[in-house]
Structure 1
């Protein structure tokens, strides 16, 4: 049985024991591991039995939010496994190498995840594996909103309102969270849209 392991991002290399090819391969592996661990998106490798083979740091965090029921830690969430199973069921179709299935998992308004699954056949392995990427949509929207605050030169209050709005909050929710009236929210949103339009027309 395969178990989920977290690989350290740094690999100790002893040059005196390695030839240049081995050293280069270890450096490449270390580099790729560091890149995977640094990604904001969760990256999972799952086998055809639903067992996790590898997960980066973001995936560990996201999976802990998805695995609310008492499931073994080395198995993928049923929500993700359903998507993997659908892809496995379609295995053998003419377009299988290009096929990627995608779906959204909504836990609540602030926890929305986009899951993409692709079937990969790795050299030297008899069974197919799934490459699963999980994007925290809420976090992505928040990061986009923060970038837009700077881009559109929004005031601190406009920034608060815009970040909540981009996080799928209604005008009513924004007003309640910021202890302001709906009319104030509407006024600020009108200013924000004017600034956005001015930026687009530059």
Structure 2
């Protein structure tokens, strides 16, 4: 089992003050602290591993997602399912092909699906290959996208409910059962939603080509 160590909290990523440091070192420390804070604020989980499975870096989201995928209170391992995807990259793609990405999904239930992407991560100062692993909570990503789409397409509250369920892969029958309406009502609302969506993109096209 690959050991997974929880990454430091936000307070820990602040650059530590040193009594003796030149301006260049101070600048480098500030840049590293800034980048770590940016990564901590990302919606996706980020892991950097060696090709032998050693953890180099991980943000808090990655820790949380890994805990959900494989709940082990004693060691918090990197889930075997994620490491299997990493091994697919290692075994099938050369390190020189650093733009190639292996992608797969881990489904825990109907609303908890993680999309895992793995690619090689090249650092000029190091010769050994690293793996960059991103972990995306598909439900959260779709939910955030839906919020934006509801505003863009100017959907009503009922249309918004239906569109959200549709975007997380509910069938018309499931939407009807969830909202206690008929399938024909769902179809009617979906027709209106698609019309509003088409109007939105038509307006963009006309504006850009005016």
* TM interval, short-chain normalised: 0.7 to 0.9
* Cα distance between partner residues in 1 of 2:15 and 2:141: 34
Matched with 2:89 is 87
Tell me the TM-score normalized by structure 2. 0.84
Partner of residue 22 from structure 1, selected from 8, 21, 25: 25
Alpha-carbon contact 2:116-2:135 (below 8 Å) kept: yes
Instruction: Flag structure 1 segments of 5+ consecutive residues without an equivalent.
Output: none
Matched with 2:78 is 76
* Cα distance between partner residues in 2 of 1:148 and 1:7: 35
Q: 1:199 to 1:3 in 2, by over 3 A?
A: closer
Tell me the TM-score normalized by structure 1. 0.87
* Cα distance between partner residues in 2 of 1:139 and 1:77: 20
Alpha-carbon contact 1:152-1:195 (below 8 Å) kept: yes
Matched with 1:199 is 200
Instruction: Flag structure 2 segments of 5+ consecutive residues without an equivalent.
Output: 204-210
Post-superposition offset of 1:13: 4.1
* Cα distance between partner residues in 2 of 1:78 and 1:97: 23
Post-superposition offset of 1:7: 2.5
Matched residues, number: 200
* Cα distance between partner residues in 2 of 1:14 and 1:184: 63
Matched with 1:101 is 102
